[in-house]
Amino acid sequence: MNGDRTESDWQGLVSEYLVCKRKLESKKEALLILSKELDTCQQERDQYKLMANQLRERHQSLKKKYRELIDGDPSLPPEKRKQANLAQLLRDSQDRNKRLGEEIKELQQRLGEVQGDNKLLRMTIAKQRLGDEEIGVRHFAAHEREDLVQQLERAREQIESLEHDLQASMDELQDVKEERSSYQDKVERLNQELNHILSGHENRIIDVDALCMENRYLQERLKQLHEEVNLLKSNIAKYKNALERRKNSKGQGKSSSSALTGVLSAKQVQDLLSEDHGCSLPATPQSISDLKSLATALLETIHEKNMVIQHQRQTNKILGNRVAELEKKLRTLEVSGLWSLPGGKDTILFGDPALPTTQRSRSPLLKFVEQLTENKASPKDESSENLFSLLKTPRSSPSYRTYKPFVLRLNISWAQGTTIRERSRR
């Protein structure tokens, strides 16, 4: 155990000795380098001292010459001596400036070299002190240069993308400016219309909201009429096909075939399905086919009636929405003071004889009622019947008193719509 320990201790001491020896050699090399650099610094110091002495001697000589020039030659008159002194002084100063400029350039060059040497010396000393070999002038390796080039390319791509974004932003700004100018023009036109409205101009628009509501109502009605036209077209095509089949069956001489394969009337269906004749049909293939065609015709009729009911419901819904919009608008007019209920100070009377003829508002609804009264025509649907009966109700009845504001609202809305349409046509 003691022998193994002494051998391991001896190996550790040998390794420590080798490490210390290497450190000593590195220190020796560092001391040699420092001594060499110290020698060079001392030589440069001696050179600077020599240069300083030379400059001092030159300065003394120049000072002596300057005094001699100022004093001048005592044998010459004072004026000539002064002129000669000034000319000589000018030439000497020019020569001296040239020499000093050259010396300054040389000294600046030497100063740069000395600063570089001092920087290198400091870095070498720091490297020897810290033992870090990476301290010094950075020399980039090949892969580092490639990374730098890639970073430069990415930065260039980012710059290009930013330039494109800037151009897109400029284009968007131009579009926004154009849109702003269009909105400004629109605002100016609206202000002009408002000025016409406030000043009572002849070409003013009575109510833009009413025009929008009427446009929406007409669009819905147009859509519904298109659907009804499509339904009628399909019915016409179906009846045409039925008539063609019936004509073909007659042309082929099938007199025994029943009329159920064609278009059946309501009376024929009632006679066929009556109790007297219902059980008298023979159980033949012809009667079975007739019953099948009858069932098909009845199903188609039911489908058509359902479609008509659906369209009627849509019509009622559209009329209800329009009435609700008109009531809301009239309520707004009541709140704003532009219209009041009958019996007040500001009651609107459409048939007031005190107004001029050009200012009276003729309700198209009343005109429609008068036409119905003159022609004695029956109304088309249940809503028109109710409205007709309501307008023909005596004024003393409670139903008239109940629906009088509603009738006045309808009159006002129709008058506004008529005026708007007439002015739009103009």
| Amino acid symbol at 83 | Q
Q: What is the CA radius of gyration of the chain?
A: 59
Say if residue 194 is in the same domain as residue 212.
no
My answer on whether 74 and 161 are in the same domain is no
Percent above pLDDT 70 for the chain: 59
* Cα–Cα distance measured from residue 387 to residue 16, given in angstroms and rounded to the nearest whole number: 121
Count of structural domains within the chain: 4
Least confident of 52-66, 197-211, 286-300: 197-211
pLDDT at position 346 is 42
Confidence bin at 415 (pLDDT 50/70/90) = low
Same domain, 93 and 65: yes
Looking at the structure, tell me whether residues 23 and 77 fall in a common domain.
Answer: yes
Same domain, 314 and 389: no
412, part of any domain: yes
pLDDT, average across residues 358-371: 43
Indicate the residue among 291, 317, 338 that finishes a domain: 338
In a domain, 2, yes or no: no
Q: Would you say residue 229 lies in a domain?
A: yes
pLDDT tens, residue by residue, 18-46: 999 899 999 999 999 999 999 999 899 89
Assess whether 303 and 391 both reside in one domain. Answer: no
What is the C-alpha separation between 408 and 420, in angstroms, rounded?
Answer: 18
Rounded to the nearest angstrom, the gap between the alpha carbon of residue 12 and the centroid of all alpha carbons in its chain is: 78
CA 426 to CA 410: how far, in whole Å? 24
Query: Mean pLDDT throughout 298-322?
Result: 84
If asked whether residues 30 and 102 sit together in one domain, one would say yes
228 in the same domain as 186:
no
| Residue 221 covered by a domain | yes
pLDDT, mean over the chain: 71
Query: What's the confidence (pLDDT) of residue 83?
Result: 65
pLDDT recorded at residue 249: 72
Contacts (Cβ under 8 Å, ≥6 apart) of 29: none
**Is the whole model's pTM more than 0.85, yes or no?**
no
d(CA 18, CA 91): 72
Q: Residue 189 phi/psi, 5° resolution? A: -65, -40
In a domain? residue 91: yes
Domain boundary among 204, 236, 256: 204
**Largest Cα–Cα distance of the chain, in whole Å?**
176
For residues 213 and 327, membership in a common domain is answered with yes
Residue-wise DSSP of 146-201: HHHHHHHHHHHHHHHHHHHHHHHHHHHHHHHHHHHHHHHHHHHHHHHHHHHHHHT-
pLDDT of residue 6: 84
Q: Is the dihedral angle over the CA atoms 344, 346, 347, 349 positive or is it negative? A: positive
pLDDT (tens digit, 9 = 90+) per residue, 125-147? 877 776 655 444 455 566 777 88
Residue 138 forms part of a structural domain:
no
DSSP code for 58:
H
- Name the DSSP letter for residue 251: H
Average pLDDT over residues 393-409: 43
Q: Looking at the structure, do residues 242 and 329 belong to the same domain, yes or no?
A: yes
Please give the residue range of the domain that contains residue 84. Answer: 13-130
Identify the band that residue 2 occupies on the pLDDT scale cut at 50, 70 and 90.
Answer: low
Last residue of a domain, one of 77, 102, 130: 130
Q: Is residue 173 scored above 50 in pLDDT?
A: yes
Nearest to 217 by CA among 144, 285, 314: 314
Confidence band for 177, pLDDT divided at 50, 70 and 90: very high
> Are 40 and 125 within one domain?
yes
> Between 277 and 181, whose confidence is greater?
181
Whether residue 5 is contained in a domain is answered as no
334 and 216, same structural domain? yes
The yes-or-no verdict on residue 166 having pLDDT over 90 is: yes
pLDDT at 247: 80
Taking Cα atoms as reference points, which of 128, 118, 137, 101 lies closest to residue 44? 118
Residue 136 domain flag: no
Query: How many C-beta atoms lie closer than 10 Å to residue 264's C-beta?
Result: 19
